[in-house]
Amino acid sequence: MDVSRRDFIKASAAAAAFAAVGGKSLNPLKPGAAEAAEGGVTWGKAPCRFCGTGCGVLVGVRDGKVVAIKGDPQAPVNKGLNCVKGYFLSKVLNGKDRLTTPLIRKDGKLTPASWDEAMTLIASKFKESIAKYGPDSVAIYGSGQWTIFEGYAASKLFKGGIGTNNIEVNARLCMASAVTGFMTTFASDEPMGCYDDLDLGDTYFLWGANMAECHPILFSRLLTNRLNNPEVKIIDFATRRTRTSLMADRYIKFKPQTDLALLNAIAYVIIRDGLHDEAFIKEHVVFKKGKENIGYGLEDKFKFADEPKGITFEEYRDSLKAYTPEKVAALSGVPAETIVEMAHLYADKKRKVTTLWTMGFNQHTRGTWVNNLAYNVHLLTGKICRPGENPMSLTGQPSACGTTREVGTFTHRLPADMVVANPEHREKTAKIWGIDPKKIPAKPTYNATEMFRALDRGDIKVIWSQVTNPFQSLPNLNRYRKGARKGEGRFVIVSDMYPTRSTEQADVVLPSASWVEKEGMFGNAERRTHQWFKMVDAPGEAKDDLWQTMELARRLGHGSLFPYQHPQREIWEEYRKFGEGQGKDLAPYDAYVESRGLRWPVVNGQETRYRYVEGYDPYVKAGEGVKFYKNKPDHYRAVIWARPYEPAPEQPDQHYPFWLCTGRVLEHWHTGTMTGRVPELKRAYPEAVCEMHPDDAKKLGIKQGDQVRVSSRRGSIQLAADLNGRGKAEHGNVFVAFFDENKLINELCLDAYCPISGEPDYKKCAVKVEKAR
Ligand SMILES: Nc1nc2c(c(=O)[nH]1)N[C@H]1C(S)=C(S)[C@@H](COP(=O)(O)OP(=O)(O)OC[C@H]3O[C@@H](n4cnc5c(=O)[nH]c(N)nc54)[C@H](O)[C@@H]3O)O[C@H]1N2
Ligand SMILES: Nc1nc2c(c(=O)[nH]1)N[C@H]1C(S)=C(S)[C@@H](COP(=O)(O)OP(=O)(O)OC[C@H]3O[C@@H](n4cnc5c(=O)[nH]c(N)nc54)[C@H](O)[C@@H]3O)O[C@H]1N2
Ligand code: SF4
Ligand SMILES: [Mo]
């Protein structure tokens, strides 16, 4: 038994003893992490392993197996409530076909092997490739479902040991535009607000976020607020009618991509009608314009143009003249009077306003711009940094914030918002890592899409993926699936808990421990960092990803980077040094053991609910009011950006007349590998369907349940039509979820990305739909 599982059992025993001596209301916080045994079941706390909401759950363990899950009443995020995925967490671990032994491809077939054989082979492939082609020929592709420790170790090994910036994560497909949005506007990643905003605001603008299915617990907090305060209004701006729209006070449909124009039109009306907050703007805002890089990665090169430059308020105001309500109504399909009404609602001085968004903004060829435009409206009205009034970017994965963004596991990044391009940042990192600063290359290499293009071309030879399923989740999938199997020295390693569409592409498969089979930490969307202990052993020979990474390090001669007795605890204390004094302060490990998570910056043991504002943020002194203190070059001001509307690079035409949007359903998690193994969830939503409008279907002679063929310029799949299903497509639009491994909708998706964030647009491409013969 390893140290962490011993800690968990010790903590459980302490809790049991506490109960036995008559501790009436059991406080599971004090003894460490666990409640008393009840009917032979020992309970421990953990965050849910699914969405970025970060609900707290209590995990029931008996005879070395997770046997029960309940919502954690002490967790401030969810107060005891879970959604269907959370309640079935135990079954996610206990699927019948868990991978239990390493597999090596021999004569084309994946064949069981020992860990030693697998790691020897992997290490030899790494060494050979590095010796022949240099360190940029090897890569790791990780995940917002990595624990903080796993992400940290991978970054330290690749950037600090091997000496390559070839580390990327699936969060590039998800949160990258939110990151560049935050960095360009506030010079610091992640929200100023927190989930308390859901309880405290009056008006909520959702921009294509399907919270009812994708952030169900946050949505229910929002609905509770409205139940208690009938004045509360939820406005659902979206391209598709969802369960969220059903519950909203208003559903405002708009044509895909026109959110850029709509937000500019709202800003236009706010200024035209004198609704902006002049004092706030004068004190806290600068104006800039710029397109920065252009080109959507449809060519293999970035093109640079039009460096950002400062402009005046008047110049900004004039730039909005192209976005009168009338002009934008014609473009977006939203009536001009609705645009004016919404601008006035945004600016209403009596109402606290919160804006919420997820992939509708981020997966956008102008994802960075549209994030900037959402901030503009809050900055123009001064509705920011105070309880109930904030722009709140919702995060997808459980640790997209904690791991990929805060640890900085992207090619261009280092921990605590630092970047490889900055020599001082490399210096600081090298000092903490105990390495020569020259080891960390100054130039970023590839974003996620480009990383798989490099594999396709053969510039990357060896690639290791952990806690992600790229050969189902990448866009333009046919290209990258073929690229991986081209041979000629390419070598693909996949760490997973189940067989997937990625393990079938691999040369070596490593069986991995998941969630409470290991000790971990995640960071959620409200800057809350959670800790949990290992509670059960992984099945068979499965091992955790942290061990796997450190084992490769040892075999490559980089073992000295990981001199730990208790890796998780020691990695945490090392990692914490990056954020100290930088507005990203984290507490000592035990503070997280003993709490249901803490929101950073944590200074003197106190978490922070609201950033950049006096009375909440320890970095803002009394009398300073609001201070965007991370943006030093702009004198502690935030940036309002003039960003134009730009059409999507691929749009419906006579050959491919429909917009295809892809995304999620409540019951399934992403590529369905985990939720598909829970019989109840699988039965509830067995396969992907094609949502389409009944009028469009009628024209094509398609009836409910008919098999249809959906094709783009890149691929084609067959599935059933759903004309009046859970999600309702608007005219000229279809929607397909991507959880179904037998219906790879990603083969159709376009791999164009936002030139600033590198995030692909899974929400828009052109397809045709035909009745299948
Ligand atoms: N049940 C469940 N929950 C999840 C997940 C899951 O797999 N399953 N995954 C988690 C993760 S990682 C993520 S990233 C989130 C995703 O959460 P969401 O972004 O809420 O969900 P999606 O289904 O990806 O997005 C679909 C929505 O995109 C909007 N959209 C389409 N085109 C446009 C456009 O041009 N502009 C705008 N503004 N909106 C547009 C549409 O209104 C559509 O309903 O969910 C998280 N939660
Ligand atoms: N068409 C379309 N495609 C999309 C999107 C979209 O909206 N539309 N959204 C994009 C977004 S936002 C995201 S976040 C990505 C998600 O895409 P992926 O990350 O590829 O999808 P997941 O299904 O979450 O993959 C996680 C994998 O890790 C495995 N696993 C679970 N726990 C562990 C563990 O502890 N260790 C290891 N080694 N493996 C483990 C699971 O079995 C699963 O195979 O998809 C992107 N792709
Ligand atoms: S809302 Fe998200 S974090 Fe909460 S239980 Fe559901 S999947 Fe888990
Ligand atoms: Mo995501």
- Indicate which residue's Cα is closest to atom 5 of ligand 3: 86
With beta carbons less than 8 A apart as the criterion, state whether 271 and 281 touch.
no
**Is 661 assigned a catalytic role?**
no
Mean pLDDT of 277-289: 97
Q: Tell me which of 472, 497, 517 to substitute to probe ligand 2's pocket, judged by most ligand atoms within 8 Å of the beta carbon.
A: 497
Binding-site annotation, residues: 48, 51, 55, 83, 85, 145, 170, 174, 257-259, 359, 363, 469, 495-496, 518, 545, 662-671, 738, 746, 763
Counting from 1 in the atom list of ligand 2, the atom nearest the Cα of 749 is 1
**Is 396 assigned a catalytic role?**
yes
What does the pLDDT read at residue 8? Answer: 63
What does the pLDDT read at residue 6? Answer: 63
Reported confidence tier of residue 283, pLDDT bands at 50, 70, 90: very high
Binding-site annotation, residues for [4Fe-4S] cluster: 48, 51, 55, 83
Beta pairing partners, 532:
520
Mean pLDDT of 93-109: 97
CATH number listed for the domain at residues 41-91: 3.30.200.210
What does the pLDDT read at residue 308? Answer: 85
Place of tokens 């609602």: 345
Kindly report, residue by residue over 391-417, the tens digit of the pLDDT. Answer: 999 999 999 999 999 999 999 999 999
Which range is least confidently modeled, 14-28, 377-391, 670-684?
14-28
What does the pLDDT read at residue 255? Answer: 98
Kindly report, residue by residue over 212-265, the tens digit of the pLDDT. Answer: 999 999 999 999 999 999 999 999 999 999 999 999 999 999 999 999 999 999
Residue 771 CA, distance from chain mean position: 35
What does the pLDDT read at residue 594? Answer: 96
Beta pairing partners, 57:
46, 71
Mean pLDDT of 594-616: 98
Mean pLDDT of 714-721: 98
Q: Which of 156, 160, 161, 175 is catalytic?
A: 175
What does the pLDDT read at residue 291? Answer: 73
Which range is least confidently modeled, 269-278, 287-296, 421-430?
287-296
pTM comes to: 0.95
Does the structure show a pLDDT above 90 at 302?
A: no
Counting from 1 in the atom list of ligand 2, the atom nearest the Cα of 171 is 14
Mean pLDDT of 320-324: 98
Kindly report, residue by residue over 458-511, the tens digit of the pLDDT. Answer: 999 999 999 999 999 999 999 999 999 999 999 999 999 999 999 999 999 999
Ligand nearest to C-alpha 262:
1
Does the structure show a pLDDT above 70 at 362?
A: yes
What does the pLDDT read at residue 12? Answer: 56
Which residues, chain by chain, have CB under 5 Å from ion ligand 4? 174, 396
Does the structure show a pLDDT above 90 at 34?
A: no
What does the pLDDT read at residue 9? Answer: 60
Question: Nearest 5°: CA angle at 260, between 254 and 261?
Answer: 75
What does the pLDDT read at residue 39? Answer: 81
Reported confidence tier of residue 26, pLDDT bands at 50, 70, 90: very low
Kindly report, residue by residue over 144-186, the tens digit of the pLDDT. Answer: 999 999 999 999 999 999 999 999 999 999 999 999 999 999 9
Structure tokens given for 112:
């069981």
Does the structure show a pLDDT above 90 at 16?
A: no
End-to-end CA distance of the chain: 58
Nearest to 93 by CA among 136, 116, 64: 64
Reported confidence tier of residue 297, pLDDT bands at 50, 70, 90: low
**Cα atoms found within 13 Å of the Cα of residue 692, Cβ hemisphere only:** 32
Residue 132 CA, distance from chain mean position: 35
Rounded Cα–Cα distance for residues 435 and 163 (Å) = 11
Percent over 90 (pLDDT), the chain: 92
Mean pLDDT of 762-768: 98
CATH number listed for the domain at residues 181-294+305-396+634-642: 3.40.228.10
What does the pLDDT read at residue 21? Answer: 36
Counting from 1 in the atom list of ligand 2, the atom nearest the Cα of 739 is 23
* Domains of the chain, residue spans: 41-91, 103-170+414-557, 181-294+305-396+634-642, 658-749
Instruction: Give residue 313 CA to ligand 1 midpoint distance, Å.
Output: 34
**Is 672 assigned a catalytic role?**
no
Question: Nearest 5°: CA angle at 138, between 135 and 140?
Answer: 125
Reported confidence tier of residue 22, pLDDT bands at 50, 70, 90: very low
Place of tokens 């608007």: 730
Residue 730 Cβ < 6 Å to ligand 1: no
* CATH 3.40.50.740, domain 103-170+414-557, yes or no: yes
Pick the CATH number of 658-749 from 3.40.50.300, 2.40.40.20, 3.30.2020.30, 3.90.1150.10: 2.40.40.20
3-state secondary structure of 656: coil
Q: Which of 211, 214, 342, 359 is catalytic?
A: 359
What does the pLDDT read at residue 389? Answer: 98
What does the pLDDT read at residue 301? Answer: 44
Place of tokens 């109402």: 351
